[in-house]
Structure 1
Amino acid sequence: MARRLPNFSALRAFEAAARHENFSRAAEELHLTHGAISHQVRGLEEELGRPLFVRHGRQVKITHDGLKFAQLLGKAFADIAAATDTMRAAGGNQRLTISSIPSFAARWLAPRLGRFIERYPEIEVVLQSSGALQDLTREGVDVGIRFGRGNYPGMLVVRLMGDVYYPVVSPHYRNGALPVEPAELARHTLLRSLARWTPWLRAAGVALAEPSGGVMFEDLTMLIRSAADGNGVALVRHVVAMQEIASGQLLRLFDIATPSPDEYYFVTPPHAAAKPQVQAFRDWLLEEIAAFQRQQDLIT
């Protein structure tokens, strides 16, 4: 006798709501309304005969039983995604889902990705960009490109490369009256991001406090755009700012760079590591990075 399963859409709505602990973000992920998520979760709770969330207005907190159920559902959805990928591969259509931090995806990976597609036309590439640390297994992602310290429990991790910080400015900033010595930065607008200025200022021998106030840019692309628009001096990572430097939109100030404590990593769930498309992408990416680093050595 076949077992009666809950509505699949309700299960997906609940799993997404549990993962985010927020109905609105679950609705955005599944392209539904907040009301639709709430309705499906309510229906699932009625079918199961127990609450899955504790509600305080529009704020929700998952129950202990709900959390255990969501974890099992997440694993089941990951298994379904893996089985689907296997079937696609057997049919000759290999899908590769890559999740990358936005700055690396837009400024380094995407401009080179065409070469991978030319080499492996049978692989369908899905490139996602996310600044949040995703659960790659639960979300069916084959490869994550992360910027951090390499500590990703349960994942297979390969270091890709490091990066350095240095200040840049538009050639038109203050009508071209640019700082000549690091100490002159005290009289200029220092744009802020999540990367602190203090390590670079110390390396440059500048006794200047960490900038405060003004806009805090969490997205490096927006930080670089603001600097290119002449709004101030920005502390940037080389890998994500080199396009504007090469084009002349930004000028690198001084010959001082500090190594980033975070580095770029190739992160793979164990079940995805053996996929031919994942292995092909990893090998190609390491080749591209080696070529990029050789080119940087020639430039510097």
Structure 2
Amino acid sequence: MDLRQLPALNALKAFEAAARHESFSRAADEMFVTHGAVSHQIRALEAELNIALFERDGKRVRLTEAGGRYAKEVRAALMALAEATRAVRAGDRERRLVVSILTSFAARWVTPRIGRFIEQYPEIDLELLSTNGLADFARDDVDAAIRFGFGKYEGLHVEPLLDEVFFPVCSPTLNGGRLPQTPADLPQYPLLRSDDELWRPWFHAAGLMSASEPKRGVLYQDSSNLLQAAIDGQGIGLVRRSIAMHEIASGRLVRLFDIDGPSPWAYYFVCPPRLLETVRVRAFRDWIFEEVERFQALYGRACAAGRDGAAEVLRTAGQ
């Protein structure tokens, strides 16, 4: 059979819908096209087949005998094609894993480590969706998410993944390498601002009860941009542990003091309950919890090594 002799697929789809509804208008509504478009497709199909498929009585249409026979065959063929397409997509979807992750966490924490997941699970096609918006699992094509917040996500499986702390960092070349020696020195340096306003809680943790949030300078709403500003020597940034450690290990940033500021938010592993036991989601969940355990142990060793030894501990571990 010469498949080049088959009518156009759009014409067959329009005919099947019109035959099922016995209405060009309802077929048009189903296909999100105009009544005229459906009518044109069917007239072209009739001309190609050289046979009338519908009898027309004003605005009303009904199938001819030949049209009825043809409609059954066309419907069966389209259903078979739809089922074959669904099966192919389903097979591919079982291998495809889509994870929504906060942009800064994806860039600064997940990406440096993701090679281990790829090596461990080469059969999984991982897609990292970097976004600061919350994934809508009912609408978006997302399997799991790492969210930074309070952990209240109704209707979803939620597990605490990683607590967070904040501390000040800067470029080792800031102020010609003459860096603050005590927390009380910080007001003499440019402090980078964010809309989280976490400087005051950190100052309180450092015993500086009268210090306040910086009021001048650029306001950074993205943590990754603030971190980059610190790397570029624009000032001292108060940053999250998770996104700063890689830069400290590389020597691009220096942690100034061994004082952690509290974070009102934490990271959570989130997914629809029905997806939790799928192979792809379970693999990612197990992997990222292992990475977090490794990260926390490494952070503990770095803190124990003090300011001078922390970077070396991280570099040795490859962080």
In 1, the alpha carbon distance for the partners of 2:204 and 2:173 equals 27
2: distance between equivalents of 1:119 and 1:227?
Answer: 34
Deviation at 1:291, TM superposition (A): 1.7
TM superposition shift of 1:273? 2.2
The separation in 1 between residues aligned to 2:94 and 2:155, in whole angstroms, is 28
Q: Distance in 2 between matches of 1:131 and 1:150?
A: 16
Note if 1:166 corresponds to 2:163: no
C-alpha deviations, 1:88-128, integer Å up to 9, x for none? 55469511000100111111112222221222222111111
Q: Cα offset for 1:286?
A: 1.1
1:200 counterpart residue number: 202
Deviations 1:135-194 (A, max 9, x none): 132112101111111011111101111111010111111112221111111221110113
Correspondence for 1:210:
213
Output the CA distance in 2 between the equivalents of 1:8 and 1:297: 59
Cα offset, 1:299, TM superposition: 2.1
Tell me: CA distance 1:182–1:120, structure 2 relative to 1, closer, same or farther (3 Å).
same
**Alignment correspondent of 1:48:** none
Residue 87 and residue 162 in structure 1: after superposition, are their counterparts in 2 closer, same or farther (change >3 A)? farther
User: What residue in structure 1 maps to residue 103 of structure 2?
Assistant: 102
Matches for 1:105-120 after TM superposition, within 5 Å: 105-120=106-121
Aligned to 1:126: 127
Contact 1:89 1:95 in 2 (8 A): no
Q: Look up the SS of the partner of 1:147 in the other structure.
A: strand
Residue 281 of structure 1 and its aligned partner are, at CA, apart by 1.0
TM-aligned CA distance change 1:209 to 1:140, over 3 Å: same
Indicate if the aligned counterparts of 1:95 and 1:126 stay in contact, CA closer than 8 A: yes
Distance in 2 between the 1:93 and 1:278 partners? 10
Cα 1:171/1:137, change in 2 over 3 Å: same
Contact 2:193 2:218 in 1 (8 A): yes
Contact 1:92 1:122 in 2 (8 A): no
Residue number in structure 1 paired with 2:153: 152
In structure 1, the residue matched to 2:46 is: none
Root-mean-square deviation over aligned CA pairs = 2.2
Which amino acid is the alignment partner of residue 180 of structure 2? P
Code of the residue aligned with 2:231 in structure 1: it is A
Query: Match for 1:202: what amino acid?
Result: H
1:286 paired residue number: 289
Distance 1:265 1:8 in 2: 40
**Who wins on radius of gyration, i.e. which is larger?**
2
CA 1:232–1:91: 2 relative to 1, 3 Å? closer
Distance (Å, rounded) in 2 between the aligned partners of 1:267 and 1:93 = 19
Count residues with an aligned counterpart.
Answer: 226
- How far has the Cα of 1:297 moved from its partner? 2.0
Q: Is the 8 A contact 1:146 1:266 kept in 2?
A: yes
One-letter code aligned to 1:263: A
Change in 2 beyond 3 A, CA 1:166/1:89: same
User: Could you tell me how far apart the structure 1 residues matched to 2:128 and 2:190 are?
Assistant: 36
Q: Percent identity?
A: 47
For the residues of structure 2 that align with 1:131 and 1:174, how far apart are their CA atoms?
33
Unaligned runs of 5+ in 1: 10-82
| C-alpha separation in 1, matches of 2:91 and 2:177 | 60
**Residue in 1 aligned with 2:58?**
none
Determine the C-alpha separation between the residues in 1 that align with 2:174 and 2:112.
Answer: 28
Deviation digits for residues 249-284 of structure 1, max 9, x if unmatched?
111112211231111111102332232111111111
Aligned amino acid, residue 199 of structure 1: P
For normalisation by structure 1, the TM-score amounts to 0.70
- Stretches of structure 2 that go unaligned for 5 or more consecutive residues are 1-19, 34-84, 304-319
Structure 1 residue 87, shift from structure 2 partner:
5.5
